[in-house]
Amino acid sequence: MDVFLMVGVWAVPVVLLLLMRRETSRNRTAKDAGDGKLVFELDQITYWAWLALFVYLLYTVVIQFGGKAFRMESLWLALLLLALAAGLMMPFPETITAGPDGLVQEIRFWLKKKKIAWGDVREVRTAKKNKLLIVEGADGTKIVHNRQLPDRDRLLEELYRNCGDKVPVELRPVMALVQEMVAERVVENVPVHEEPASEV
């Protein structure tokens, strides 16, 4: 195989994977959709890189079986590429909408929506060295916010505002912690008035 062709075969998926895995949330904020709804969605570059990589892997598998002479290494490469393509088909964390009733996460192509009402939030936690924010419902439904989605701090504010006791202290917004400290200080400083003992 020509050297330049070989380089291109591996360079394309690497570039697409880097585009897909890059952190895009730093300079992006959640969109106000009206009616009290906030939308946290993937940027279009990440989405199209994911789709292009999936199509590229399937195309490469077809090429491996399209040759005239069958070789065992072609079979192993095709199986590896199929495994990678299957992994990409796993639901990629997609648009999250925080509304008056709770959270909704939409999965494109799967025509699926995951919903968790505010009152049904059982746990809020992080995973993979704090890169994932996971909201778990009472029925086991999980909504995941990753580094490709924007405005994690705003989502934490919404979670704290609607189900504060489920958000761990280390994840609570700074202003919320300040308000809690002020409230505790006020309670501590409230003078206690004792009723005088009644004379018999």
Cβ–Cβ < 8 Å for 20, 87: no
The SS3 of residue 64 is helix
> Cα dist. 60→11, 54, 172 in Å?
13, 10, 46
Q: What is the pLDDT of residue 180?
A: 54
Cβ neighbours around 50 below 10 Å, total: 20
**pLDDT of 137-170, one tens digit each?**
999 999 999 887 888 889 999 999 999 889 888 8
Residue 5's identity, in one-letter code, is L
Q: Whole-model pTM?
A: 0.67
Question: How many Å apart are CA 102 and CA 134, to the nearest integer?
Answer: 14
Is residue 196 scored above 60 in pLDDT? Answer: no
Name the average pLDDT for the chain.
75
Q: What is the pLDDT of residue 178?
A: 53
Percentage above 70 pLDDT, the chain: 60
Q: Which of 18, 28, 4 is nearest to 149 (CA)?
A: 28
Q: What is the pLDDT of residue 5?
A: 54
**pLDDT of 25-72, one tens digit each?**
567 788 999 988 999 988 777 778 777 877 887 777 777 666 555 566
**7-26 core/surface letters (b: 16 or more CB in 10 A; e: else):** eeeeeebeebeebbeeebbe
